[in-house]
Amino acid sequence: MYDEIKIGNNPILVSFFWPLFFIRFHNERKFCYMRYEEIGSFQKCKYIYCIDKSLIEAQYLLFSDQSHITYTSKTKSKYDFFAKMITAEEMRKTDFYEYQWLEIEKLIAVDAVKLNEDIVRLNKPVVSLLAEFYYQEVICYQYQKNEVLDTWIKRNLVQMGATLFSRNESSYINYMFNQAEYSNGRDLRNRYIHDSCPQDEDIQKQDYFEIFKIMVLMVIKINEDFCLRDQQQRMLQKYELVDDR
């Protein structure tokens, strides 16, 4: 027997995803929202979040179109952000105003920028990670392992997460399904589980696609977690390090 959410003439079968979508049952026999941000991962270090103020400021200086080190007398307003300008142009220390150079020295301090024979150059391994933090707000450690990231972890400049979903993904699901995080969320969970769904079939159809999209996301995330664990297990088996107890 499947649990169904009826949307128009198309029921969504959610027997497998029911615990993820709706409720969690406690020993005290009380029901509450499933907190998606608390669902654990097999990985002890799955996500990395930047928490260091100097690295966060460096992201702004490198990539923001509001950064005041992007405009120079040489390039005018040709480039949207500093990193793009340095990649495209050969910029020397003398091309910048004194107040701008004070900001560039902050980039040098975090090893994002280097001065090579008076020419300003990007340190690409560092800048690529800062770009990921700036645009995505999170790095998946299993796909971005490198010495720079490991150094930041050791120095507590970044924070590790061991959850199935990243913070942004959890916030998105919360926005769509409940009001645990956003008071103006879509609240699809309550809308359909309490039979207070809209009668407009166009709205129902749109809700159907939104829920289906999240179901696909959950399948991908769960599958990814198992694949990463299996990859680690195979590596351990290769060196006979698996504990079968």
Segments forming the whole domain that contains residue 100 = 47-153
| Mean pLDDT, rounded, for 222-245 | 77
What pLDDT score does 198 carry? 74
| 144 and 77 in a common domain | yes
**Last residue of one domain, picked from the residues 90, 118, 153:** 153
The pLDDT of residue 239 is: 62
Do 54 and 141 belong to one domain? yes
Written as one string, the DSSP assignment of 147-174 is: HHHHHHHHTTSEEEE-BSS-HHHHHHHH
Q: How confident is the model at residue 233 (pLDDT cuts 50, 70, 90)?
A: confident
* More confident: 244 or 92: 92
Strands (E), the chain: 4-7, 10-13, 23-25, 31-33, 47-50, 113-116, 119-122, 139-140, 158-161
Residues 200 and 16: beta-carbon distance below 8 Å? no
Q: Does residue 215 lie in a domain region?
A: no
In this structure, the answer to whether residues 80 and 98 fall within a common structural domain is yes
Residue 198 and residue 127 share a domain: no
Q: What mean pLDDT comes out for the span 52-69?
A: 97
Q: Taking the complete model, does pTM exceed 0.85, yes or no?
A: no
The two beta strands, 113-116 and 47-50, are: unpaired
Q: Identify the band that residue 197 occupies on the pLDDT scale cut at 50, 70 and 90.
A: confident
Q: Is the pLDDT of residue 1 over 60?
A: no
Q: Are residues 88 and 60 in the same domain?
A: yes
Give me the number of domains the chain comprises: 2
| Least trusted range by pLDDT, from 23-27, 76-80, 111-115 | 23-27
